Amino acid sequence: MVKKALSLLTTALALTAAGAAGAKVAPEEAAELGRSLTPIGADPKANADGSIPAYTGSMLGLPEGLTYKGPGYPYPDPYADDPVLHDINAQDAQEHALFLSPGLQAMFELYPETFRVMVYPTHRDGRYDDRYYERLRYNAVNAELYNGEDGIRGFTGSVAFPIPRSGAEVIWNTRTAGPNYTLAGTYSDIAVFSNGSRSERRSTIMSEYPYANPANEVGVEEDALGIWAAYVLTEVHKPVRDKGTITSIFEPYDYITHAREAWRYLPGSRRVRRAPTVGYDTPDGPGGFITVDDTLGFNGAMDRFDWTLVGKSELYVPFHSYSFDTPGLDYDTLLTPYHANPDYIRYEKRRVWVVEATLKEGARHIYGKRRFYVDEDSWNIVMTENYDGRGELWKVVLINSIYEYNVPGYVNRSMMFHELRAGGYITIRLVNDSEPLDYTVEPNGESYYSPTNVRKLGRR
């Protein structure tokens, strides 16, 4: 059944030809940002039948008429009154095949009784502040890849390659586009097995992204801002056997010159040790359904894959799923067997960049090929498909995105990783039983994430 879904690749993608790999663009081409392109580099026009509307950029921060208490409180849904345009089930999925990725088609074939795709009107309203766009325009004529595809330079924060020429540049956009300087809160990662049983890991997180600091001057590059793209510190609270485990990660912007550094405090030994295996296909999370480099769709070094920019497509993808984070929504209702409850996942027809990563000859990874779908208005990865070494579709990933009013800008939310063979899945960064993650907390600085401080935190 999965093979049949894959055979529909040509019609499902409907892609245009892509340009050759490049780096900086000419000033006159960059000048089209905000003209023939949106300020972030998307096509501003509606599609042929109007099912994807023209870009408006009318929403900067909280929309008028909504009530919102502020950071740490639930987000009001600006589109809560939208009608359902299509409630697609397995019986009528073929009628919509042109707009369904191979991964979604596989989900319909595997779970015909329960899987649905509820399509709502598409909205292209969210925008970022002026400083974000200033940095982006600077990057367009200055940023470039080096050390193969594993480093960038001439970069000052914001989207690195708003007019991309290669698959690697699109993937770099997904990791540089985040508008938030910090992130903190409590969340759960919950695996649901084929028999309906669950396994949970509950954690707190504190992270910082130095290049997104709103105080940075436009044009300040990596020589002044430092080598680290992010600092991330997590502490496990569940399960009991892992309680008190602290992991600190230093994420570079050049994975060849400066490898990712990770440190871990284990309460059993009361010692901090370097964790050299935090990367690539190291298993992560309850159930073993994801790898370390699966989070956010992809993260980490790119050197084990060849990256191809396939083109653009119009597809149904998860977007604006505010209801998925409904406070107090119990997990028996949300996390149904085989996949999350479709009633809480909003799909929109959106234009997405499609990138394929193929495992290099002689390289090692459990995935032989990966396909990424990247929303053009946010540069967020919204879906991925992961294949084994024989070319069989193995995992389907759905990632929610919402517009965060405080930053402002689009951020990733809960991510669902479906293991098609086992019939199980894991959803990470769930906040239904806690407060929403806070994207506005004050930064702690690099020293907070150091092995010395991790040791202090572990011995509190």
Give pLDDT tens digits for 245-274: 999 999 998 888 888 999 999 998 999 999
Q: Is the pLDDT reported for residue 65 higher than 70?
A: yes
Q: What value, to the nearest 5°, has the Cα angle with vertex 61 and ends 55 and 67?
A: 115
- The phi, psi pair for 250, rounded to 5°, reads -110, 115
Q: Please, which pLDDT band fits residue 6 given cuts at 50, 70 and 90?
A: very low
Give pLDDT tens digits for 70-89: 999 999 999 999 999 999 99
Asked if 415 contacts 437 with a C-beta cutoff of 8 angstroms, the reply is: no
Q: Is the pLDDT reported for residue 4 higher than 70?
A: no
What pLDDT sits at residue 23?
A: 63
What pLDDT sits at residue 259?
A: 87
Q: Is the pLDDT reported for residue 205 higher than 90?
A: yes
What pLDDT sits at residue 59?
A: 97
| Spatial CB neighbours of 375, under 8 Å, sequence gap ≥ 6 | 317, 319, 350, 351, 352, 381, 382, 401, 410
What pLDDT sits at residue 222?
A: 75
Q: Are strands 86-88 and 283-284 parallel, antiparallel or unpaired?
A: unpaired
How many residues can be counted in the chain? 460
Q: Is the pLDDT reported for residue 412 higher than 90?
A: yes
Give pLDDT tens digits for 98-110: 999 999 999 999 9
Q: Are strands 393-404 and 409-419 parallel, antiparallel or unpaired?
A: antiparallel
What pLDDT sits at residue 278?
A: 81
Q: What is the mean pLDDT of residues 232-240?
A: 97
What pLDDT sits at residue 277?
A: 72
Q: Please, which pLDDT band fits residue 11 given cuts at 50, 70 and 90?
A: very low
What pLDDT sits at residue 9?
A: 38
What pLDDT sits at residue 224?
A: 82
Q: Is the pLDDT reported for residue 1 higher than 60?
A: no
Candidate from 17-26, 223-232, 425-434 with smallest mean pLDDT? 17-26
In angstroms, the CA 172 to CA 302 distance is 10
The pTM of the full predicted model, rounded to 2 decimals, is 0.94
Give pLDDT tens digits for 339-351: 999 999 999 999 9
What pLDDT sits at residue 15?
A: 38
What pLDDT sits at residue 18?
A: 37
Question: Structure tokens of 29?
Answer: 């081409």
Q: Is the pLDDT reported for residue 136 higher than 80?
A: yes
In angstroms, the CA 355 to CA 357 distance is 7
On the CB side of 334, CA atoms within 13 Å amount to 24
Give pLDDT tens digits for 19-57: 334 468 999 999 999 999 999 999 999 999 999 999 999
CA dihedral 251, 408, 219, 225 (to 10 degrees): -30
Q: What is the mean pLDDT of residues 183-211?
A: 97
Q: Please, which pLDDT band fits residue 209 given cuts at 50, 70 and 90?
A: very high
Question: Structure tokens of 233?
Answer: 């510190």
Q: Is the pLDDT reported for residue 195 higher than 60?
A: yes
Indicate the helix (H) or strand (E) that contains 171: helix 167-176
What pLDDT sits at residue 7?
A: 36
In angstroms, the CA 326 to CA 76 distance is 10
Q: Is the pLDDT reported for residue 327 higher than 70?
A: yes
What pLDDT sits at residue 10?
A: 37
